[in-house]
Structure 1
Amino acid sequence: MTAPHDPTWHKSSYSTNSGDCLEVAEGQSVLVRDTQHRELGALAFTGPEWNGLLATLKARQS
């Protein structure tokens, strides 16, 4: 059981099947971590920062 302040992590929809996976936890900020190196912690983004990052990544794919 998690405490109320513990993030709920899930595999990012941007992860691949090659083993390079990210986990994301949404809340007041968006947390992102590497599933293979969870002990290194996570990056925290505000909502606008996260949306900007996703928009930039999507633009670079096209």
Structure 2
Amino acid sequence: MHTKFEIWRKSTRSSGGDNCVEVSFAQDGSVGVRDSKNRDGAILEFTATEWDSFLGGVRAGEFNR
């Protein structure tokens, strides 16, 4: 099955196991996110603008408990 998301990567803070999310950047600018435990499962897809907004929120501490 061909997908526009070809190269997946995990955070460098990952312990190297399979309990992570993986991110891929497509040539059209969209961003895919998947569960590393289920690589053939669903992929969440975001626009570049949505992804940038999410990262901005992370950096600003919006998701801190």
Q: Normalising by structure 1, report the TM-score.
A: 0.68
Q: Give % identity.
A: 31
Checking the alignment, whether the CA contact within 8 Å between 1:15 and 1:21 is kept in structure 2 is no
Work out the number of aligned pairs and report it: 59
Matched ranges for 1:28-43 at <5 A = 28=28, 29-43=30-44
Letter in 2 for 1:57: V
Q: Is residue 2:6 matched to residue 1:8?
A: yes
Look up the match of 2:46: 45
Write out per-residue CA displacement over residues 8-60 of structure 1, whole angstroms, 9 at most, x where no aligned residue.
13223265217431111111210000101223311000000001111111222
**Root-mean-square deviation (CA), in Å?**
2.5
More helix by share: 1
Look up the match of 2:21: 22
Q: Normalising by structure 2, report the TM-score.
A: 0.66
Checking the alignment, whether the CA contact within 8 Å between 1:11 and 1:21 is kept in structure 2 is no
Return 5+ residue gaps in structure 1 as ranges.
none
CA separation in 1, counterparts of 2:55 and 2:12? 10
